Amino acid sequence: MQPSNLDLPPMLSTAHWTFTTRRVDRDDVAAMSTQFDAARSGDLVLCEVTHIHQHKRLQLTSKRYKKSYVGDLFVACVGDRYAPDQFQGRAEISAECGHLLAGGGVVGTVEHAHQRMSPPTQVRPLGLLADSSGAIINVERYGLPQRSAPEGVTVIGVFGASMNAGKTTAAASLAYGLQRAGHAVAGAKVTGTGSFGDFLAYEDAGIATFDFTDAGLASTYRVPLSRIEQSFETLIGEAAMQGADIVVVEIADGVFQRETAAILASSKIRDRLDGLMFAAPDALGSVGGVQILQGYGLRPFAVSGMVTRSPLAVQEAVSAVGVPHVTREQLCDPVEIAMRVAPLLRIPGRSTRIAA
């Protein structure tokens, strides 16, 4: 696509760059295009804030928040979003208006919203950013080189019943406990919408962290499964290259989400997992989640998440499904978690199974 004869405005130099753009080489930006109808997920777009509603802050590449003001300029990615507790949106924008779907830097058009949400913060797209040849710049070009997941690395998947079930806390705690037990551990978030919240949760635990933005994706919603599988392989391979012998992989949202369901049903990701932990918000979510996983022929080695904050809820769930429920404190305990994970570790000559 050729840019629509727009030179870069001087004000681009004052624009804030959001988290989803963190790998972009800004020197590549040479022009802008206003052919918004051709935009695709991952394309860089310069926006102006026009009305502030739900998202009142931006997440910057510096991994800090910036309070938004009307008239602020920022660079984000066009993208889709799937968030049952917030917005579902599609990767479409126009010259008149766009919606800030996620504070990490995803702009599109809201399709559905949770009732507790305020209207989306509105932005005016000023132009898609292009390089000197006129090609629209997409974050995919800055992704890590494609890699394969080495056979010797143990991969533990963390799935959940829903948003806010406690997946990230459980995954980061699991990684932390394994690191304390003497393993070289990395965290990887394979699906979701670009945001530094989960990313920082692993960093706060002292865990080397990678996510799909490192693989060149601003969001994984409506991305083909083959591309997500490629991203998974690359992130595991990169973690291994940096010395990890265990990678804790978090899969966003709940088991009914389209990409998550596809991963569980039949995928290279499912086939490569050596163990699976499930996060649930309550006893019913725990029981239902375990039963759904069993329907896929899978069984988690443990359940964690918000449900484990209630001893009574744990009793109810364990009596129904018989799967151990593990608190955050237990996940962080190196002795206990080493014992629970020992059967999952990849040891030459021994295979691991997560089948029910």
- Give the per-residue pLDDT at 347: 78
What is the model's pTM? 0.94
**pLDDT in the model for residue 4:** 54
User: For 154-344, CATH number?
Assistant: 3.40.50.300
Domain with CATH 3.40.50.300 in the chain: 154-344
Say what the pLDDT of residue 1 is. Answer: 43
- Kindly give the confidence (pLDDT) of every residue in the chain, 356 residues in length, as a single tens digit, with 9 standing for 90 and above: 444 547 788 889 999 999 999 999 999 999 999 999 999 999 999 999 999 999 999 999 999 999 999 999 999 999 999 999 999 999 999 999 999 999 999 999 999 999 999 999 999 999 999 999 999 999 999 999 999 999 999 999 999 999 889 999 999 999 999 999 999 999 999 999 999 999 999 999 999 999 999 999 999 999 999 999 999 999 999 999 999 999 999 999 999 999 999 999 999 999 999 999 999 999 999 999 999 999 999 999 999 999 999 999 999 999 999 999 999 999 999 999 999 999 999 975 455 556 55
Residue 5's pLDDT is what? 47
Considering only CA atoms, give the Rg of the chain: 21
